[in-house]
Structure 1
Amino acid sequence: MFDNIDKTDINELGEFGLIKHLTQTVELTQESSNKGIGDDAAVLDFSGYKTLISTDLLLENIHFDLRYVPLKHLGYKAVQVNLSDIYAMNGIASQITFSIGLSSKFPLEAIEEIYEGALIACKKYGVDLIGGDTSASAQGLVISVTSIGYAKEEKIAYRSGAQEGDLLCVSGDLGGAYVGLQLLEREKQIYLENPNIQPDLEGKDYIVERQLKPEARKDVIDLLAHLDITPTSMIDVSDGLASEILHICNASNVGCKLYEEKIPLDPMTYETAREFGLDPTVCALSGGEDYELLFTIPQADYDKVKGQLDISVIGYITEPAAGKEMISKSGHVHEIKAQGWNAFKNKS
């Protein structure tokens, strides 16, 4: 993996030297960041806003495969999946901490690539890197990111706020990340069987990028604020649409009607799923890692979203006794079941 670069053993720097080397160009841009890297703890001041905090852990060979995940993309994605949790609360992400555990197989240059990707994500989303840690790891690469943000109390969107009659909405399109993963896994198997065969990803850029370089939907939060819409509930689509719908319904003690024909699918996702013999709808329902935003809004706000190309109304909220159902394109009614990714099962 690192044969084409000059290697620097990280032991030459030591832990504190490594942290200093990786963070020497970090600058703080958020007014709420009073103190960042360089002391025992960061100091933040959100003066009047509620603070939002979320943490994610990414483990080599569980959450990512370095045989096809570029290190810079990995750093970028590690930040994105965390920022998505803040946006899923209708909040503004403002800071992150970035911690990494690594084995001796990683030279300094590899770690620099990971941090470069993370810092690109921070700069793009206006987020400060304010701390973190480095450690040796006996089990491969480990990345832990904590994201911090803020919101006015009345603007925070919990999973538990959906009301009967609310519209069920989702941003962007779904299933692309999962289908992109299937494509990458297929090409990995072909390569392992014959290393002389180069990966064939031509024309599949969109779904590959959906898997390797997802984008948290800060733009949707900005759009909702511009439209003067406060979602009654919200969650990000990390484990598949079906799982996230059930999270909202269970937390809010409501039912729902989801319409299959309304689920947004990109043509490339649809076509590639078919090539793999997969049902595109199932990919959207159970695939995960799309990091779109699923949310509910009052019916009175329908006119505000109906012309928005990046927001799809895919169903509505019902009373609990009505169940949690999907109406298929053929008119059949199916119970919505969560079959999303299980973090406690190794990838196949």
Structure 2
Amino acid sequence: MEERTEIASLGEFGLIEHLTKNFEIQNASTIVPVGDDAAVIDHYGKQTVLTNDLLIEGVHFDLMYTPLKHLGYKTVVVNVSDIYAMNATPTQILLGLGFSNRFSVEALDEFYAGVHAACDEYGVDLIGGDTSTSQKGFIISCTAVGEVAPDKYVRRNGAKKGDLLCVSGDLGAAFLGLTLLEREKRIFLENPQVQPDLEGEKYTVGRLLKPEARKDIIRFFEEAELTPTAMIDVSDGLSSEILHICKQSNLGCVLYEEKIPIAEETREAAFKFNLDPTTCALSGGEDYELLFTISQSDYDKVKEHPQISVVGFLNEAEEGRIIYTKGGTKHALTAQGWNAFNKGGA
């Protein structure tokens, strides 16, 4: 039997000290880290970027199939992804947790091991936060801090007519990972003797449980001396994110279905569920890829990049927001992505 240490045996300050003792400082901008009333950071003339994400058990994750270590890792990733979406570099996080007495110190150690791994991967310092008792379930609030040179941050509203729509990586995999895990959960609840069948599904399940933020793309922008005109991370599905950029930049768009990057593993998983891979990419969410716009004069900088796909372009708002299917038919682009308020999808 695994050892179980009750959280009450450590007390709040003892718990925080226990969970954060192995975190080392990686950024010169971190002046006062965990352990005081508040943290102190100084970005030395750069501008500060801030974002917060709330993750709630039963809404954003299911602990029946989400290992706590993966959840800790993903908590950091979803926040640093928002920092990268501003063309900034993440530097610090603050982490607030609420948990019921069903969680032991060992369970929180697992979660923090994931947080620690992600902080190492993305060069981020954990500088504070809070812990509290929750009446039920696990509640996570994470705030990320980043830095950017004053003229380099990128918003959603900077796109111009004629700009190219680009996206990193591939789309739709996380939604299919979720679909698969939800199916296996239903089977298990009906018959606990049945072992989960995840054969050949490592890619899609991995994209859901352990996503990565695209620091490589931000590094590429710097090396290529390329500044996108607008950018957003793909957390709610490609169509929803394109429409955010269109709305905030007051533009229309043309998207080409055949240009949307979808991995072979994602296509195969979609066909097993009788789902259309394009629909999974457009409406799925949780891919944490970057959607960005660039001027046509920068096309040569991205055309050879294996992780960047040009999927369309922006035009006048009056011309609408449309998608051309592989068959050549034209449809209005609609947002049917994931909505935390109706739990309507991935």
What secondary structure, in the 3-state scheme, does the structure 1 residue paired with 2:143 have?
strand
What secondary structure, in the 3-state scheme, does the structure 1 residue paired with 2:157 have?
helix
For each residue in 1:226-252, what CA deviation from the matched residue of structure 2 results, as whole angstroms up to 9, or x when unmatched?
111100000000000000000000000
Question: Which structure 1 residue ranges, 5 or more long, are not aligned?
Answer: none
Distance 1:202 1:76 in 2: 24
2:188 is the alignment partner of 1:191: yes
Shift of 1:347: 6.3
1:139-158 equivalence runs, <5 A? 139-158=136-155
Confirm or deny: 8 A CA contact 2:97 2:132 kept in the other structure: yes
Shift of 1:274: 1.1
Distance 1:311 1:347 in 2: 29
Distance 1:300 1:346 in 2: 41
Which residue, out of 231, 236, 239, partners 1:234?
A: 231
2:87 is the alignment partner of 1:90: yes
Distance 1:15 1:346 in 2: 33
Partner of 1:110: 107
Letter in 2 for 1:177: A
1:70-81 equivalence runs, <5 A? 70-81=67-78
Confirm or deny: 8 A CA contact 1:273 1:279 kept in the other structure: yes
Distance 2:278 2:26 in 1: 42
What secondary structure, in the 3-state scheme, does the structure 2 residue paired with 1:255 have?
strand
Which residue, out of 244, 259, 262, partners 1:262?
A: 259
1:198-237 equivalence runs, <5 A? 198-237=195-234
Confirm or deny: 8 A CA contact 2:83 2:144 kept in the other structure: yes
For each residue in 1:161-220, what CA deviation from the matched residue of structure 2 results, as whole angstroms up to 9, or x when unmatched?
000010000000000000010011111111111111111111111110000000011111
Partner of 1:48: 45
Q: Structure 1 226/179 Cα, relative in aligned 2: closer, same or farther at 3 Å?
A: same
Which residue, out of 307, 318, 322, partners 2:319?
A: 322
What secondary structure, in the 3-state scheme, does the structure 1 residue paired with 2:126 have?
strand
Which residue, out of 15, 18, 38, partners 2:15?
A: 18
Partner of 2:162: 165
Confirm or deny: 8 A CA contact 1:62 1:347 kept in the other structure: no
Distance 1:283 1:347 in 2: 13
Distance 2:3 2:335 in 1: 46
Q: Identity across aligned pairs (percent)?
A: 58
Structure 1 ranges of 4+ moved more than 4 A: none
**Length-normalised TM-score, structure 2:** 0.98
What secondary structure, in the 3-state scheme, does the structure 1 residue paired with 2:184 have?
helix
Confirm or deny: 8 A CA contact 1:167 1:299 kept in the other structure: yes
Distance 1:207 1:26 in 2: 30
What secondary structure, in the 3-state scheme, does the structure 2 residue paired with 1:274 have?
helix
Shift of 1:6: 1.3
**Length-normalised TM-score, structure 1:** 0.98
Distance 2:268 2:117 in 1: 32
Distance 2:131 2:190 in 1: 36
Partner of 1:277: 274
Question: Which structure 2 residue ranges, 5 or more long, are not aligned?
Answer: none
Confirm or deny: 8 A CA contact 1:10 1:18 kept in the other structure: yes
Partner of 1:290: 287
Distance 1:68 1:140 in 2: 15
Confirm or deny: 8 A CA contact 2:79 2:144 kept in the other structure: yes
Shift of 1:88: 0.3
Partner of 1:124: 121
Distance 1:249 1:5 in 2: 53
What secondary structure, in the 3-state scheme, does the structure 1 residue paired with 2:314 have?
strand
